[in-house]
Amino acid sequence: MKKQFFTLLCAAALCGCAEQAVKAPVVAAHRGYWKCEGGAQNSISSLTNAAAIKAWGSEFDVWMTADDTLVVNHDAKFHGIVLKDAAYADFKDLPLDNGEKMSTVDQYLQKAKEFPALQLVFEIKTADDLSDTLYEARVVPACVEAVRKYGLLDRTTFIAFSLTACESVARLLPGQPVQYLNGDLSPKEVYEHGINGIDYWYPEFYKHPEWVTEAHELGMSVNCWTVNAREDIQNMIDLGVDQITTNEPTLVQKQLRSF
């Protein structure tokens, strides 16, 4: 029933664009490819594994410590330590799930240079309530400079839940791919903030399938997260998103081979 309803929504969303073939999306490994032997999210090995399976990109999350070190981690805390309030030395020797140490952004980007075909989907993390504007004012330019330093701007997409962080990246790097994550604005509203892409939790596209076409008509890129089930993967493929961010990159690749 859900499938039939969604098919109708897709048809309605694509109405008037029937002559446009839906293009196959590419696959971004969410926090790298870590669902394998010895894997850990957001680790150097997850980056290497994403390259090994020929994913289009590796997504990763970045925080900045109180002493200005950019580190790769999803959660705000690591072993109970609030990363943005801590010194790097406070946690640098503590292990990830697989025993690796947490990667700095320098280490991550240095490794990424070994994989020239791999795109980087660089998430700038900010406080959940977006209250720490001083932090945001520090972290955004530091992230931009880190990618510039390693010569990787040409294969990096920046993503953030913070609208102001996305606006800042777009202002610092005109034309750089930037995708807003929060899902609360239409593509047109995001575009009006100078941001050229969206990366939304996939159920937002069940509510608003027309957003894919709306974004494309504005020249914006469309990514979605975190799409792990076959039916949802297929629905996002059918809808014509540009990228699928997933914990199951090999499953998405398999479905795309039959596209």
**Cβ nearer to Mg ion, comparing 41 with 45:** 41
Residue 199 as a binder of Mg ion (CB under 5 A): the answer is no
Residue 55 CB, shortest distance to Mg ion, in Å, is 15
Q: Give the integer Cα–Cα distance in Å for 117 and 172.
A: 25
Q: Which whole-number Å values give the CA distances from 24 to 2, 27, 54, 128, 131, in the listed order?
A: 22, 10, 16, 33, 38
Residue 62 CB, shortest distance to Mg ion, in Å, is 9
Residue 42 CB, shortest distance to Mg ion, in Å, is 8
**Cβ nearer to Mg ion, comparing 226 with 234:** 226
Q: How many CA atoms lie within 13 A of 93 on its CB side?
A: 2
Closest residue to Mg ion, judged by C-beta, is 123
**Cβ nearer to Mg ion, comparing 123 with 210:** 123
Q: Give the integer Cα–Cα distance in Å for 239 and 214.
A: 12
> 98 near 85, Cβ under 8 Å?
no
> Can you give the C-alpha Rg of the chain in angstroms?
18
Tokens at 126, concatenated? 């900010």
**Among positions 41, 46, 61, 236, the unique one binding Mg ion when judged by CB under 5 A:** 61
**Cβ nearer to Mg ion, comparing 197 with 209:** 197
Residue 5 CB, shortest distance to Mg ion, in Å, is 29
Site string for Mg ion, 113-142 (x = CB under 5 A): ----------x-------------------
Residue 158 CB, shortest distance to Mg ion, in Å, is 11
Q: Give the integer Cα–Cα distance in Å for 259 and 253.
A: 10
Q: Which whole-number Å values give the CA distances from 106 to 69, 144, 150, in the listed order?
A: 9, 12, 8
**Cβ nearer to Mg ion, comparing 61 with 214:** 61
Question: 122 φ, ψ to 5°?
Answer: -100, 105
What residues between 131 and 190 interact with Mg ion by CB under 5 A?
none
**Cβ nearer to Mg ion, comparing 72 with 212:** 72
Residue 243 CB, shortest distance to Mg ion, in Å, is 13
- Which residues are near Mg ion by CB under 5 A? 61, 123
